[in-house]
Amino acid sequence: MRSVVLLSGGIDPVSGRSAPPRGEIAAIGLALSAGGAVGGLHVGLPAAALGQAAGHGLGQIACLRGVGDPVAILAAHLSAAPPDLVLAGSRACGGEDSGMLPYLLAERLGWPLLAGVMAIGAGADGWLPVTIGLPLGARQDARIRLPCILCAHDAAPAPPFVFDRARRVAMHTVAVADAETIAPLEGTERPYRARPRLIGSAAPAGGGRVLDNPDPAEAARVLLDHLRALGMLGA
């Protein structure tokens, strides 16, 4: 099985220093668990965050140098020598951060895509079993036809960082044909302004119901009725 992990570079949201997004580290972990050759792929010049990502288990990273739509550049490069598996994080961190790239790439390559992948199993007959992570700890088993694109769940296990691997990674630049240009983004960009979320829905307005010093049996009954009404006790 040959896997390629898409790397976006990226910055840390708090410090602003270069750091790989959490999901891409999880994607490296998934690629390693699939076994076989694993390489990184990045559109653009070698960046500091790529080395840090490599520290989590990548031996080599190819940087595609070309002008234009990164989706088109990636699609051209991947269809020239298709790997079995392309892995990505849920979204970049430091760019447009929309999480659209894997979807656009899947559409262009005509490959199937699954997002929120927690673990992958052993592939057989051109199919790969995967486990999808859902909210509240729920899981879903799925099978997907190879070759495919998988987006790692942010909470998928992250392989440990080894400084020596980050130092030794082989980064090579590949000059590729220019692709079509993308339309400039609409609107204006400016520093982020935190806006308060709507309130009132999370906490009960003016406090909730209070039972002062009830009989224990009475308290237990009210409590269970309340939990049942919230759907927490299955019935």
Partner 1 sequence: MTGRPRRDPRAERARCLVPGGARPRLARAGRDGMAIAPDAGPREPVMIRVETPVFWVAAVVEAPNGRLDRWARQTLGAARVLAGADGGVVALLAGRDAGEAVGEAGADRVVWLDTAIGPDAMPGVMLAALAPFAPRHVVLAETPAGGDWARRLAARSGWPIQTGIEMLSARQAIRPVGAVRRERAAVPARVLTLPIDRVAPYGGTRREGRPCPPPDVPAMAARMQVGPVMAAQAAGIPLAEAPFVMAAGQGVVDFESFHTLSRLMGATEGASRVVCDAGLMPRAAQVGASGTVLDARCYLAFGIAGAPQHLQGLGKVEHVVAVNTDLHAAIVARAGLSIIADAQAVMPALIALLRGEG
User: Where in 180-209 is the site for partner 1 (CB under 8 A)?
Assistant: 185-193, 195, 197-199, 201-204, 207-209
Q: How many CB atoms lie within 10 A of CB 209?
A: 7
Identify which of residues 36 and 214 has a Cβ nearer to partner 1 in the complex.
214
Q: How far apart are CA 42 and CA 118, in angstroms?
A: 23
Tell me which of 74, 93, 120, 169 binds partner 1, using CB under 8 A.
93
Q: Is 107 in the site for partner 1 (CB under 8 A)?
A: yes
Which tokens go with 217?
């049996």
CA dist., res. 115 & res. 89, Å (int): 9
Residues 135-164 that bind partner 1 (CB under 8 A): 135-145, 148, 155
Closest approach of Cβ 60 to partner 1, in Å? 26
The answer to whether residue 11 forms part of the interface with partner 1 (CB under 8 A) is: yes
Q: How far is the CB of 75 from partner 1 (least distance, A)?
A: 12
Interface residue with partner 1, options 97, 161, 171, 173 (CB under 8 A): 97
Residue 118's contacts (CB-CB under 8 Å, 6 or more residues apart) are: 130, 131, 132, 133, 139, 153, 155, 156
Decide if residue 222 touches partner 1 (CB under 8 A).
yes
One of 1, 48, 60, 103 touching partner 1 (CB under 8 A): 103
Neighbour-count burial for 100-129, b at 16+ CB within 10 Å, e otherwise:
ebbbbbbebbebebbbbbbbbeebeeeebe
